[in-house]
Amino acid sequence: SANRRPAKEFDMPGVEPPEPTRLGEVVWLEPFPDALLERAIDVPLGPEARYEQTEAISLAFVTALQVLPPRQLAVLILRDVLGFHANEVADMLDSTVESVNSLLKRAKASLLGRLPPTHEREPAPAPDSPAEQALVAKFIRAYESGDLDALVALLTDDIFFSMPPIPLEYQGRDVVARLFASIFGSGRRVDLVPTRANGQPAFVAYLRASTGIRHGTGLFVLTLTGDRICAFTRFDNSVLPWFGLPRSLPSR
């Protein structure tokens, strides 16, 4: 997001997070509702075009874009996302085709160093496919019930967990399992309401309170590979209105 939100402190009462793997650079990242994207497209997309679009709006790709210099970012978006020819981009930027090609080459090299190596991963199941629905159902059951073993079984060995604008980042199943153990051990239990963000499965987490009212505490976005979860991004509850979801739900 261009808003460049400042970093925040960890904000889960009763949860003691483990030492992070590192502190994130891109704490201003924000999710984009799939529903808004679909309304912005005038023509239906075929499977290949929809896959390319999903890759271009994935959280990993959007995060990597944030650290590119402005002209490299502009060239990459214009050439590889929007599909303009090199000579058209050169005209837009008052530059030359040679300069545009050089900027694009440097941008791609920078992205390769930041994006996960997709050739080493199974592709994610197609959106709303039976395979995706099965994995999502397992995640919901495990998370809502606080079943740590069932949740950890869904994670890849190199699972990446982040929670912008909180800068703490965790890499690897063991440390992420310790974080979830602390969350579940605090007694926090939530109900998950499915949605979609950045072409990926997402869930609004509503914390169960003793009064029966359930309060929205954040948005979870999952990145999938095969039948596993390879990244988990948690956003705070300020993003809920973008998804047309309330800040609280009545008791069941």
Provide the residue-wise pLDDT of the chain in tens; the chain has 252 residues: 344 555 577 778 788 899 999 887 655 577 877 777 655 444 454 444 444 455 555 666 666 666 788 898 888 878 876 778 999 999 999 999 999 999 999 988 887 766 555 546 788 899 899 999 999 999 999 999 999 999 999 999 999 999 888 889 999 999 999 999 999 999 889 999 999 998 899 999 999 988 889 999 999 999 999 999 999 999 999 999 989 899 999 987
Q: State the pLDDT at residue 249.
A: 92
Check the CA dihedral 233-239-240-243 and report its sign: negative
pLDDT value of position 47: 45
**Phi, psi dihedrals of residue 222, rounded to the nearest 5°:** -105, 140
**What is the spatial distance between Cα 49 and Cα 122, in angstroms, rounded to a whole number?**
19
Phi, psi of 83, rounded to the nearest 5 degrees: 85, 20
Residue 13: the pLDDT is 77
Give the chain's domains with CATH numbers: 34-119 (1.10.10.10), 122-249 (3.10.450.50)
pLDDT value of position 46:
47
pLDDT for res 59? 64
The dihedral region occupied by 169, where left means phi > 0, alpha psi between -120 and 50, and beta the remainder, is beta
Question: What confidence score (pLDDT) does residue 27 get?
Answer: 56
Structure token digits, residue 209: 């309170």
In DSSP terms, 221 is beta-bridged to 202, 233
pLDDT score, position 2: 41
Residue with token string 């981009």: 89
**112 burial class (0-12, 13-18, 19+ CB within 10 angstroms)?**
exposed
Buried-state track 196-206, b at ≥16 Cβ within 10 A, e below 16:
bbbbbbbbbbb
